[in-house]
Amino acid sequence: MEAGKLRQTCTIQARPAQADSYNQKSGDWADIDNLAGIWCNIQDLTGLELVRAQKIVATATERIIIWGFPGWRQVITPACRAISGTVDTGQRIFDIKAIINPDGVDIELQLLCVEII
């Protein structure tokens, strides 16, 4: 992976592990240590717009490429999300659906996400 291609930044967040009385995760999203403001490349894969019950529902799938690191399997999971941008410039929020380690040696991670629109 070429470092020059990582021209955007994102923050990986997770929810606290505590559950409420209905066994649902509760609490606000929190930044994962050392994964705030990391360099990434966000690639649009597909966009799909559906009409359901006379409402337009838009979904977009993205690939976010970040540098790999040892122990990422314990930190980044499909229960996490990524945020790109700022409140002033407009934030994009992505639900992480899968994590791919294409080379198998933790150099590059590809986060397959669905953007929350």
Distance CA 37, CA 67 (A): 12
d(CA 66, CA 114): 16
Whether residue 57 lies inside any domain: the answer is yes
Among 2-6, 20-24, 48-52, 67-71, the range with the most confident prediction by mean pLDDT is 67-71
How many structural domains is the chain composed of?
A: 1
25: DSSP letter: B
Question: pLDDT, tens digit, for every residue of 52-104?
Answer: 666 766 777 899 999 998 889 899 999 999 999 877 778 999 999 999 999 88
Has residue 38 been placed in a domain? yes
C-alpha–C-alpha distance, residues 53 and 56, integer Å? 8
pLDDT of residue 63: 93
Residue 12 within any structural domain of the chain: no
Q: Tell me, yes or no, whether 14 lies in a domain.
A: no
pTM (2 d.p.): 0.81
Q: Is residue 4 part of a domain?
A: no
Across residues 37-55, what is the average pLDDT? 80
Structural domain harbouring 70: 32-116
Parallel, antiparallel, or unpaired: how do β-strands 108-116 and 30-31 relate? unpaired
* Any domain includes 26: no
